[in-house]
Amino acid sequence: MDKLYIRGLEIFAYHGVNPEEKQDGQHFFMDVTMWADLSRPRQTDRLEDTVNYAAVRKTIHRAFTAESYDLIERAAQAVCEAVLEEHPKVEKIGLVLKKPEAPMNASFDYVAVEVELSRRENGGTGQ
């Protein structure tokens, strides 16, 4: 299985348990890994034979900003489910969701969750 990557995707959203997070919002960063069979597009050089990064980015943005979640765990799950639903060539997705502005009284780079979801684990979504 081949891999496709989107690294450092920045999206502004309103996720968090504190009222100010839901009101003011903050920047989140994502590292996305998608597993797919890329044998055909490696031969044909045709966009329709592969996973379209731009289309996936739109799916991620829409899924991530459609609702305001308390937990980044739930937000990450929603993104993974949407990508599998809308992009049938993606067999598995891994997502590291980083929250650099988490409300903690400490100096840190970010807090994060890492979620992986495969088509089989998601009940065959998108097939």
Catalytic residue list: 99
Assess contact for 1 and 37: CB atoms under 8 A: yes
Residue 10, beta-bridge partner list: 29
Q: How far is it, in rounded angstroms, from Cα 48 to Cα 123? A: 25
Its sign, for the CA torsion 77, 80, 85, 91, is: negative
Q: What are the angstrom distances between the C-alpha of 20 and each of 25, 63, 101, 110, 112?
A: 7, 21, 12, 18, 19
Q: What are the b/e assignments for 83-98, b being 16+ CB within 10 Å? A: bbebbebbbbbbbbbb
